[in-house]
Amino acid sequence: MEQIRLFALYFLIEFLAGSIMFSYLIGLILHKDIRRYGDGNPGGFNLWHAAGRVAGIIGSLLDFAKGALPLYFIAKNNIFGSVPLSILAIAPLLGHMFSPLLKGRGGKGVATTFGIWVALTNFQIAILFAIALILYPLVFHKGYEESPEYNALRVVGSFLFIGVFVYILYREFLLAWFLNALLLIYSHRRELSDIPIRLKERFLG
């Protein structure tokens, strides 16, 4: 019973940490509502567009940190097994995507995802995810045109691909990877659903 209460407490802490929309708040401090820029995502990428590179990097680093730091200390203490820890790992991502600060809306969760996998796997899976993001356009689409639809496909495709390495290296965290993948697909659903329309426009005019 005590462990259940501790799990619930940690889940709440992780969720609330994730729900702090740093990029959005930094934008407000700089008198910019970043939801009015780009695709309306209240994350570091739109903060970059709205307020410049430095602000965007700071926002992204803070979104990364809220996925990494609380989870790192929970995982380091080794209180829970792999299944409860996998569920806790997703809590900051849920907070980020469904932030009470923005009435249940939030960001796409890419920076927070990096933080989660740094904490769970001591950087290994996060580095592989970064490599996959870099290699994806080189392998599948050289000279691709930058677009929200292609970037969504790149993020989701790269994360699905690293599931192979999660299975090989960290099979105990397959549940975390699966839930994380579902949430990334959900947060990019609009762009992914627009891909057939863009392809039709490109090839059929």
Task: Give me the pLDDT at residue 40, please.
Answer: 78
**For 160-197, how does the pLDDT look when each residue is reduced to its tens digit (9 = 90+)?**
999 999 999 999 999 999 999 999 999 999 988 887 76
- In this structure, what token pair is assigned to residue 149? 């639809």
Contact call for residues 90 and 169 (beta carbons, < 8 A): no
Query: pLDDT category, 122, cuts 50, 70, 90?
Result: very high
List the one residue out of 99, 205, 114 whose CA is nearest residue 162: 114
Average pLDDT of the segment spanning 73-99: 93
Q: Output the CA–CA distances (angstroms, integers) from residue 119 to 76, 92, 129, 148, 198, in the order listed.
A: 9, 12, 14, 28, 37
**Domain limits for position 162:** 2-204
pLDDT of residue 144: 57
Residue 65's pLDDT is: 97
Which is higher by pLDDT, 98 or 48? 98
Could you tell me if 18 and 93 are in contact, meaning their C-beta atoms sit under 8 angstroms apart? yes
Q: Which residues of 75-96 are buried (b: 16+ CB within 10 A; e: fewer)?
A: beeeebebebbbbbbbbbbbbb
- pLDDT of 116 reads 98
DSSP for 56-109, written as a single string: HHHHHHHHHHHHHHHHHHHHHHT-S-HHHHHHHHHHHHHHHHTBGGGTTB----
Tell me the pTM.
Answer: 0.91
Return the number of other C-beta atoms located less than 10 Å from residue 186's C-beta. Answer: 12
| Helix, strand, or coil (residue 162) | coil
Tell me what pLDDT residue 69 has: 95
- Give percent of the chain with pLDDT exceeding 70: 92
pLDDT score at 141: 64
Domain count, the chain: 1
